[in-house]
Amino acid sequence: MLPIHQYSSEDRIRYFSLNQEIEHFFYREAELIDNRRFDEWLDLLHCDIRYFMPMRRNVKFGQHAKLENTREGEDMSWFDEGKWSLGKRVEQILTGVHYAEEPLSRVSHLITNVQVIDVDPSLGQPSEVRTSCRFMVYLNRVEYETYTFVGKRYDRLVRDGNDWRIIHREIILDQNILLAKNLTTFF
């Protein structure tokens, strides 16, 4: 993808329109999760989704690119799931007897710095986009448990008719030790 200053005026308008469309998609997704509308959230996911959150390591300078994050499909991770397992997690939460979600957590997602970083095939009628964004997820459980998750997210979305579906999500937490007692929220 060209740097934005190299686009024609018409392509810049298409880029910013597409970026705004993706932003609103992510805002709607966050609202569904925060309001516990998990079945509707699952509908935003492509049937072939890969939902991946690596574990992070403290490594020596110069080794970050190669060793800081565990690898998808190869190493241990916080999440390395498909739609089936995400659906099972939703089913478990919605039973009302999930030990870590009884009572249900109160969650707020803040999504920012949304950027379309690659478009396929073009800005005219894209069928696939790669994006990046930053997030902060605030979670409150029972009386006194509060947790904050901050990080980056890299998504690949594909067009499905007039809608977008998430086909790949990589979630990078900006911490290497998980301070929360459980990890039941969705990112």
Confidence band, pLDDT 50/70/90 cuts, at residue 155: very high
pLDDT at 102 over 90: no
Of the candidates 64, 31, 79, the one whose C-alpha atom is nearest the C-alpha of residue 184 is 79
Q: What is the pLDDT of residue 183?
A: 83
Is the distance from CB of 187 to CB of 29 less than 8 angstroms? no
Residue 166 confidence class, pLDDT cut points 50, 70, 90: very high
pLDDT value of residue 76: 79
CA atoms within 13 A on the CB side of 168: 10
Quote the pLDDT of residue 1.
63
pLDDT, residue 184, reads: 83
Which pLDDT does position 3 carry in this prediction? 64
Average pLDDT of 84-109? 85
Gap between the Cα atoms of 71 and 65, Å rounded: 11
Task: Report which of 138, 108, 119 is spatially closest to residue 1, judged by C-alpha positions.
Answer: 119
Q: In a 10 Å sphere around its CB, with 0-12 CB exposed, 13-18 middle and 19+ buried, how is residue 168 labelled?
A: middle
- Which pLDDT score, from 0 to 100, does residue 68 have? 66
From residue 133, how far is each of 61, 75, 116, 117, 151 by CA, in Å?
25, 24, 9, 10, 9
**Residue 112 CB neighbours (<10 A):** 10
Q: Which domains are present in the chain?
A: 4-173 (3.10.450.50)
Regarding predicted confidence, which is higher, 115 or 125?
A: 115
Q: What pLDDT shows up at residue 59?
A: 64
Q: Please, what is the average pLDDT of the chain?
A: 87
Tens of pLDDT, residues 45-77:
999 999 999 867 766 787 766 766 667 788 877
pTM reported for the whole predicted model: 0.87
Residue 129 has pLDDT above 80, yes or no: yes
Lowest mean pLDDT among 37-41, 112-116, 134-138, 173-177: 173-177
